[in-house]
Amino acid sequence: MNGPATDTPASAPADVSPEALLAGIRAARDQGLAAVAVAATGDELAQVESTLFGRKAALGQIKQGLGSLPPEQRAAVGRALNEAQQDLRAAHAEAADELAASARREQLQREWLDLTETPPGPERGHLHLVTQTTERLEDVFVGMGFTVSEGPQAETDWYNFEALNLPAAHPARSMWDTLYLDLGERTELGDGEGGEASNVVLRTHTSPVQIRVMEVQPPPIYTICPGRVFRRDTADASHMPVFHQIEGLVVDRGISFADLAGTLEEFTSAYFGKAISSRLRPSYFPFTEPSAEFDITCVICEGSGCQTCQRTGWIELGGCGMVHPNVLANCGIDFEEWTGFAFGFGIDRLALMRHGIDDLRDMYTNDIRFLSQF
Ligand code: DAH
């Protein structure tokens, strides 16, 4: 195959024997098949093709030598020549098909578009951090046997204040900067006098849900009430006019302050982990007696003292206490038979602390770059 000078018997003078020609045909055929087998690209195969079937092809030259054989010997050599030629053609065609197929496979691979991929576009959303926090809190309390209750965000003065042992003009009302609704003539909102604009408020805390639960459900009661609350406040890094609280209420026989302390401690370690514990400090709320402030170990420094906890190692979470007998009586519950405790704390602040967010307003400006972190 390398050239007529070295291994093409057909180029030899005309006295070549049929045996030598047949050997030459076999050699040319085998070399040709080997050359086809190693051709790795279309170009290489085209090169091989011209060597095999072109003007100077080995078999072609042998064919030219055929004429010098005696006629009776020509047929056998001619047949061998044709067969060799056919074998080479077939091998070449097969190799060409295979190369074309693999070139196509490669092209498909190169140009493959994964149409199942999520097209670039708006990010898939998720629950807001406050909602996530609320759901986690609910999970912990539900795990402790509490139910979840809800109440309206617009409340009458009765539910938001009066039934909670805060009669009109009670000085403690100033603890809640209240937003009043102007409802004009519409009067169908629950108890209270109704009708007067000043009588309906955006609830300033979740405590009115306590009243709504006790009104309809006889004790024993073990419930939490998460929800949105409103205060007349200017937004700053630690205040928002709209925020969220979670209220807890237990009413049963023989409930004591120790049950309150134990429940809050149990909640604290279930929600924050064993490193964080709770403590109660005496305080005042009109709807509880005695009342306490509920602190937890600072979640940032775990009690050693840092900027967040003002070096005290504690963070104030909310208020609590034993439900005031007047409140039980306002809901028709016999306070000689039943006692209870209640607590309430801010959800937004909790989320803020857990995630080291320093400005409460970031939670509500709907900046996707902020929200998508949680
Ligand atoms: N409602 C109170 C507030 O918004 C928090 C609170 C204090 C709730 C004591 C309670 C409680 O249930 O017992 O400031």
Please, which residues have CB within 8 angstroms of residue 95's CB and are 6 or more apart in sequence?
Answer: 36, 37, 39, 45
User: What is the pLDDT averaged over residues 55-68?
Assistant: 83
Residue where the block lists tokens 């609910």? 138
pLDDT band at 358 (very low <50, low <70, confident <90, very high): confident
**282 three-state secondary structure:** strand
Q: Is 243 in the pocket of ligand 1 (CB under 6 A)?
A: no
Backbone angles phi, psi at 226, to 5 degrees: -85, 155
Q: 322 CA to middle of ligand 1, Å?
A: 11
Instruction: Give the Cα-Cα-Cα angle 73, 79, 85 (nearest 5 degrees).
Output: 135
Mean pLDDT value across residues 193-204: 72
Question: Is there a contact between 295 and 278 (Cβ–Cβ < 8 Å)?
Answer: yes
- In angstroms, the CA 257 to CA 100 distance is 86
Q: Is the pLDDT of residue 349 over 80?
A: yes
Q: List for the chain the helix, strand, coil content (%; round to 5).
A: 45, 20, 35
pLDDT of amino acid 300: 86
Q: Can you tell me the mean pLDDT for 62-68?
A: 82
Residue 38 tokens read as 């190693």
Q: Is 318 in the pocket of ligand 1 (CB under 6 A)?
A: yes
Is the per-residue pLDDT at 342 higher than 90? yes
Q: How far is the CA of 261 from the centre of ligand 1 (A)?
A: 15
Is the bond into 290 cis (omega within 30 degrees of 0)?
Answer: yes
Spatial CA neighbour of 264 closest among 229, 296, 216, 300 = 296
Regarding the beta carbon of 178 and ligand 1, being less than 6 Å apart is answered no
Contact yes or no for 296/313 (Cβ under 8 A): no
- Residue 319 Cβ inside 6 Å of ligand 1? The answer reads yes
How far is Cα 185 from Cα 144, in angstroms, rounded to an integer? 44
Q: Kindly state if the Cβ of 28 falls inside 6 Å of ligand 1.
A: no
Segment 124-155, tens digit of pLDDT: 789 999 999 999 999 999 999 999 999 999 99
Nearest ligand 1 atom to alpha carbon 319: 7
Is residue 294 lining ligand 1, measured as CB closer than 6 Å? no
Q: How sure is the predictor about 9, in pLDDT bands with cuts at 50, 70 and 90?
A: very low
Q: How many CB atoms lie within 10 A of CB 53?
A: 15
Q: Is residue 81 within 8 Å of residue 63, measured between CB atoms?
A: yes
Q: Supply the pLDDT for residue 63.
A: 84
Q: Name the closest-CA residue to atom 8, ligand 1.
A: 344
pLDDT of residue 207: 98
Tell whether the model's pLDDT for residue 71 goes beyond 90: no
Three-class secondary structure assignment of 8-76: CHHHCCCCCCHHHHHHHHHHHHHHHHHHHHHCCCHHHHHHHHHHHHCCCCHHHHHHHHHCCCCHHHHHH
Is residue 255 a contact partner of residue 269, using CB atoms and an 8 Å limit?
no
Whether 74 has a pLDDT exceeding 70, the answer reads yes
φ, ψ (nearest 5 deg) of residue 304: -80, -10
321 CB near ligand 1 (under 6 Å): yes
Q: What is the pLDDT of residue 66?
A: 81
- For residue 210, which atom of ligand 1 is closest to its CA? 12
The predicted structure's pLDDT at residue 152: 97
Write down the number of H helices and E strands in the chain.
12, 10
Element (H, E) at 129: helix 129-143
Encoded tokens for 40: 């790795």
Q: What percent of the chain has pLDDT over 70?
A: 91
pLDDT of residue 194 exceeding 70, the answer is no
Nearest-atom number in ligand 1 for the CA of 321 is 13
227 lines ligand 1 (CB under 6 A): no
Ligand 1 contact, 285 CB (< 6 A): yes
- Does the beta carbon of 156 lie inside 6 Å of ligand 1? no
Q: What is the pLDDT of residue 119?
A: 67
Per-residue burial over 111-135, b if 16 or more Cβ lie within 10 Å, else e, is: eeeeeeeeeeeeeeeeeebbeebbe
Pairing status of strand 221-230 against strand 147-148: parallel
> Is the model's pLDDT at 356 over the cut of 70?
yes
Q: Which helix (H) or strand (E) holds 322?
A: strand 314-323
Rounded Cα distance, 175 and 164, in Å: 13
Structure tokens at 138: 């609910």
Tell the residue nearest (CA) to atom 10 of ligand 1. 343
Q: How far is the CA of 318 from the centre of ligand 1 (A)?
A: 7
Instruction: Verify whether ligand 1 is closer than 6 Å to residue 288 (CB atom).
Output: yes
